[in-house]
Structure 1
Amino acid sequence: MKKQLFRSTTNRMLSGVCGGIGEYLDIDPTLIRLVWAIFTCVTVGAGLAAYIIAAIIIPADNNIR
């Protein structure tokens, strides 16, 4: 079965983007959140824009699988 990237509906803080990426990559979502926060601070907000875009583009996991 092909792996697909979804926003997590169970492991979420805001919209589930980091939780979904963590589930997709089999990595703890807390590490994804930490890296994303550092990226946002270092790039002066580009991470925030990327998060918003990802939240719009990545579909939610509605347990369709």
Structure 2
Amino acid sequence: MLSPHEIAALMLLKDANETPELDPADLNALARKELVQMDRQAHQQGRVRLTGRGRQFLATIARRS
């Protein structure tokens, strides 16, 4: 289960060209759940991307709203 902060982080990442300033704990939690992929020092270099699983999660919650 994702926290509201983690869901919001996913939503921000989906629409961002660069990684917005997000809580590193949220990013790490999303990476552990394989919803985002982070390169080394990703939050500093703008290299956080949604995985297919992350996109699918967002599509699922969008259909339920």
Which bin holds the TM-score, normalised by the shorter protein? Answer: under 0.3
Larger radius of gyration: 1
Which structure carries more strand by proportion? 2
Q: How high is the TM-score relative to the length of structure 1?
A: 0.27
Q: How high is the TM-score relative to the length of structure 2?
A: 0.27
Which structure carries more helix by proportion? 2
